């Protein structure tokens, strides 16, 4: 595999993560995409010698609910600013005793139970089907794992994330059902974020920051906002340093994803050239310029 230009690392910060240790901001971008504006201005800067783009998923001050996040605008804006790799940090609940509050889980699979969120950039007039069999980048996730271990964090190398609509937490019956499905963690924001990153040919890694045991755990108090916020503060501090350590590992020439994510659209666009809607083509060009010209 040949090296390419350097990394431009995009970071989407979840609940409680609104800054990064050592991040030297250079500029702030207020982006308008064909799907509207992202959650907030995107701050561009330098961290350990690499270019970083930072976007708070819920907006600064946490004013956007999970179902109201403009996921398409978030991913499109980062792509428009030149992101080559995307690391998402997201608070989540745990279905596993061994995945305790304060631990980090490197998600590698998803079950999507959201129902009211646009989940694709493409549609009638420009149809595309990308594979989500392996929805995260193994190479980027491995770099995150190495950085977490270097920081001395308790990190679980794999996990299945159950995405729910929210904003309410699960009922006890739902929590027990999801455990029986083999899910490991639960959250409200990773979908359709991961799907859209794949369509935009962005290698994606998700760091699940465990805040609670959902409500299945008989010996723990049912999840409450107060409990979550206490753990959230500690997790955010760990995550800020984790991003800094990761940046040192990404410095230097960039290598393509071992999963071929940068070229997934080569065979995904199925609409014949003479049947393509020019307006849809123009709209999608910002995330698929490589194949749409």
Tell me which residue of 92, 126, 129, 34 sits closest to 210, measured CA to CA. Answer: 92
Does the structural domain 4-292 have CATH classification 1.10.10.10?
no
Residues forming the active site: 212, 214
Nearest-10 crossing angle of helices 71-80, 278-292: 50
Reading the chain (293 residues) residue by residue, the pLDDT tens digits are 334 479 999 999 966 666 777 888 889 999 999 999 999 999 999 999 999 999 999 999 889 999 999 999 999 999 999 999 999 999 999 999 999 999 999 999 999 999 999 999 999 999 999 999 999 999 999 999 999 999 999 999 999 999 999 899 899 999 999 999 999 999 999 999 999 999 999 999 999 999 999 888 866 665 555 666 678 778 888 999 999 999 999 999 999 999 999 999 999 999 999 999 999 999 999 999 999 98
The DSSP secondary-structure symbol of 123 reads B
Q: What does the longest C-alpha to C-alpha distance in the chain come to?
A: 62
Could you list the residues known to form a binding site for phosphate, using ranges.
15, 57-58, 90-91, 189
Rounded to whole angstroms, how far apart are CA atoms 269 and 130?
9
Q: ∠ CA(245), CA(250), CA(255), 5° rounding?
A: 155
- Contacts of residue 68, defined as CB under 8 A and 6 or more positions apart, other chains included, come to none
* Residue that is written with structure tokens 């998923």 in the block: 57
In this predicted structure, what is the pLDDT of residue 248? 95
Could you list the residues known to form a binding site, using ranges.
15, 57-58, 90-91, 188-189, 212-214
Could you list the residues known to form a binding site for substrate, using ranges.
188, 212-214
* Residue that is written with structure tokens 């499905």 in the block: 181
Helix (H/G/I), strand (E/B), else coil: 154: coil
pTM, full prediction: 0.94
Enter the tokens of residue 108. 């590698």
In this predicted structure, what is the pLDDT of residue 2? 39
Q: What residue segments make up the domains of the chain, in order of their start?
A: 4-292
Phi, psi for residue 129 in degrees, rounded to 5: -130, 110
Rounded to whole angstroms, how far apart are CA atoms 185 and 206?
12
Rounded to whole angstroms, how far apart are CA atoms 113 and 131?
18
Hey, CA dihedral for 223, 228, 230, 231, is it positive or negative? positive
What are the DSSP E strand ranges found in the chain?
4-6, 8-13, 24-29, 42-47, 50-56, 85-94, 104-107, 109-112, 155-156, 160-163, 185-187, 204-212, 253-254
């Amino acid at each position: 595999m040949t090296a390419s230009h350097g990394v431009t690392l995009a970071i989407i910060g979840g609940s409680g993560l609104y800054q990064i240790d050592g991040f030297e901001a250079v500029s702030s971008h207020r982006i308008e995409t064909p799907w509207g504006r992202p959650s907030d201005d995107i701050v561009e800067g330098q961290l350990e010698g690499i270019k970083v783009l930072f976007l708070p998923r819920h907006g600064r001050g946490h004013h956007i609910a999970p179902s109201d996040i403009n996921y398409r605008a978030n991913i499109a804006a980062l792509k428009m600013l030149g992101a080559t790799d995307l690391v998402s940090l997201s608070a989540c609940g745990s279905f596993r005793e061994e995945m305790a509050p304060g631990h980090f889980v490197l998600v590698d699979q998803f079950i999507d139970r959201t129902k009211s969120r646009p989940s694709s950039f493409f549609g009638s007039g420009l149809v595309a089907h990308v594979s989500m069999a392996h929805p995260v980048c193994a190479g980027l996730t491995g770099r995150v794992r190495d950085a977490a271990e270097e920081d001395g964090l308790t990190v679980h190398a794999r996990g299945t994330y159950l995405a729910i609509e929210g904003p309410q937490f699960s009922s006890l019956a739902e929590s027990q059902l999801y455990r029986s499905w083999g899910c490991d963690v639960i959250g409200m924001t990773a979908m359709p974020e991961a799907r859209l990153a794949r369509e935009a040919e962005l290698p994606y890694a998700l760091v699940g920051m465990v805040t609670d045991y959902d409500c299945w755990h008989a010996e723990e108090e049912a999840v409450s906002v107060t409990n979550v916020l206490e753990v959230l503060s500690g997790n955010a501090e760990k995550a800020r340093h984790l991003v800094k350590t990761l940046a040192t590992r990404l410095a230097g020439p960039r290598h393509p994803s071992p999963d071929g994510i940068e070229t997934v659209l080569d065979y995904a666009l199925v609409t014949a050239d003479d049947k393509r809607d020019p307006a849809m083509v123009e709209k999608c060009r910002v995330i698929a310029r490589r194949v749409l010209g």
